[in-house]
Structure 1
Amino acid sequence: MLEPCDVIREAIVSALPSIPVESLGRMMEKLIQQGVETEEDLQYVREQDIEDFIKPIQCRKLLASWKRKSPLPAGKNWPDAFKVNWEKMTSSLNMCLQNGKRPTPADRRQMIRVLVDDIRKIEVNPSRAQCLIIATDIVRQYPQSFMDTLDDGRTTVGAGYESLLCQIKTRIEHLNRNNTLARRRASKATNGTKPQRRPTDTYGCTQWQPELPPEETEASLEDDRQKLMELFSREGSSGMERAEVLKLMEKTYYLQRQMINANPAPALEHVKQQWPYLFFPRSMCTHFEVLTDVSIVRKIEAFLEEHGKNIMEFFKKNPTNDDVKNVLFRTDCSVTASNILQVLMAHFKEPLDALIIQTD
């Protein structure tokens, strides 16, 4: 795959072969800074982006050339018709598919790179739902090679496609990390209702850096942060149970993200000084839910309910060390969150007091 500078140079020179070297270099630098990484990205460039380097007619000629080369807009249902080009994949991966075996991590990573390049020729930043259709189709076609299963090869983990979907989406987000034109942003509400959160290119986060809340200013939110500081200095950790604290923490999420996302990144101790209530489990879970649209507590509960019994049964039949045996004996193999955590920590030889405090 060509580097962004090579892609841009070829796209410019093919339309303007007589462009001065100095103008070419400056224009390439500007486009890369703006986030152009692939040939498809060039369709988003506007005349004002390049007018400082070439004459107006040259600008229009260049943009017209890029527009002709850009792919037609993808239909909403393009993932349903998408076909993986297996001929582009490594011979060793295709051999695994034919024999119903799992590909090596290296072959799988190479497959993801080729697959994502083909996807982005149709849509630069497809949604998670669109990637899901492609991932499930691959798993359905080659379940022995791509289905998420336990070590026994028979027990399906979750829906069976999560790891493949995660790899595809993460690769797309990585390629779009500096391309602001390819981001998916939340549409503003027009009827007074709360706008629906949509995916962005920030590794699965839906509220990485939200816009300033309506009818609020940074000054008003800073006042609310000061109120939180005063409450903490007066009531300490007990203030975490107050409804006022929970409401103020939710209201000031915008400022919290501003500090966390600052460049250079602030020291953890500084964040803790400015947002003491953020470092309590309840606030962390709430912050994570707003950030990702995922309720981590409900996710953990659902996981334990769905897979807890399998985990305990596995270690009951295959105790991996003496610590695991002791936990199973002590807990009588009962399926609870505490027991599952203990047996997993024993398996990985982690000290129990690193995560769990035992009391009478």
Structure 2
Amino acid sequence: MIVRSGSARKALCSSRNFSHTIRAPTIREETISSDNQKKSHASSYDLKNRTVYARLYSAFKGHFYRVHNAPQAAPIAVVADCAVSLCARRFHTVKELVSHLNDHIGEGRCHFVFSANMTDSERTFLDVAIMEVLPQLQAVNKNILEEHLQSIGVETYDDLRFVTEADLMTALRPVEAKKLLSAWKRKCKKHSTDVVAKYPSSLQDVIEGDIVGTGYHSLVKQLQNRIENVRRTSTPKITKRKHQTDDSDQTDEIPLEERAAMQDIYGCIKWNVKFLPLEETQESQKQKMEKLKVMFQHSDANPEEVKCLMKSTFYTQRQHVNQGKSIKCLREEWPFWFDELGMSVHFMELTGIDLKETFTRNLDLKGKRLLDYMTTVCVNKSKKFLQNYARLQRMRGQRSGCSDDVIEMILLLLSYFDEEEESMFFHVEDTCLAEEVQLEQVPLTPVVIVCGQSCYSSTRYMLSLDRNLINTNISSFISALCLMFGSYYCFNIHYPSELASTLEFLQRCFFSINPEKGTKVENKNSKRRLNVNPRVLTLIQELSDHEWR
């Protein structure tokens, strides 16, 4: 067969039975003059400078039959030796060589791959991105994956963000695909961190100088939304909804028990205290517990002494609640724990945060901005929100003051996130006694019992937990709100899905609890929740951009 000079062809074969790369077929050339005289001489090409690497048989074959345009006066005839292990056949035409190598491929003895000893400068970015996560991946699978990623349009590192698990299944096992995607997502997150660090004043999640969460969650969310938008096809996909039963298999990566424990620990620094304080014994803890019970019976108990006793018995309190004792039993053994004073001590030890002081400080910093945003921007975005705002204004009337502003802020937050007020507040008559409250109608989660027609007109509140009235005489709305929120952490209670967004917003913006990972929202299905609620992130970002002064 006659081919043009200057078109050196080389295929690197990698045997599946050997770890090394087999040398390429040896090509011996005979130059034939234009007048067809037999003036020939043998020559060899400089293969280092004229190497063509083929990963697939089709590419190898296509290259051999391709017409090369490299200018050369004299055509050449090809003589090639097969270099596959234990095979030394020689061929005088390209067709014979290609056919012969195809037989080796069918036997599984060779596959066309990139050179295994490429230098760092010769490696593609895809090769680096794959091998740094899966260094043990076989060369064959790696090259198939690399070719597939190129075929779907991956051209830069940034394009890796758009790759889905299905895109990787052509050459990887499910766990390998998940590892690769996870590593690429972490790079995306690191990129967000670096960008925010470089331009903090423009991109950081900050409200009145207070960094919310890690400060870069909003940017990560925007990148993820961009990825989802790019992935979205123009033709809608219709998927038949599957019927799920109570005994259907769970597909969560994390077992339910382990996930529940992670939700309990969420936001805490001393959730499970392993050892008693050095100066304490089991007997001394019991004595102090009994002393607190006696002190609770007297209205003139010394607050400082109560604080000291509650702090020194924190170990036993955590042991009791983590062992699963009922709320009724805990209230009998630790009555001060359900009081504003006792809960603030326990919450401080548990999370490192002063419950009420932190809320009031953040209220001064962010409350007016949030209220202004709700009453000037949100009312123009949603008709339903506008109607709820008008209803609250009629209920509030001419009342003014900090407490009324807080009430309006909380109720507008519930309306903004389209979450039910009844899941957080339960209304009874203003003269209703504790024993008259119809607890069977109250949710199991922490609920503020409002004694009056509205939060604005009420002068007394109660707190229900597991349908037990744990505090029947709370004088202010702010105290009731702090006790309700603190109960979720003190007693290992998950946020109900009906209040997920409102509670997480309060947690991050007003109680300054900003874990980077995990969630405290109950998970009723196998759907994985994000570390930060996207709706909460959206509101944080809009508040950060809102000019209200």
TM range (shorter): 0.3 to 0.5
Tell me which of the two structures has the higher relative contact order, counting C-alpha pairs closer than 8 angstroms and 6 or more residues apart: 2
The structure with the larger Rg is 2
The structure with the greater share of residues assigned to helix is 1
TM-score, scaled relative to structure 1: 0.45
TM-score, scaled relative to structure 2: 0.31
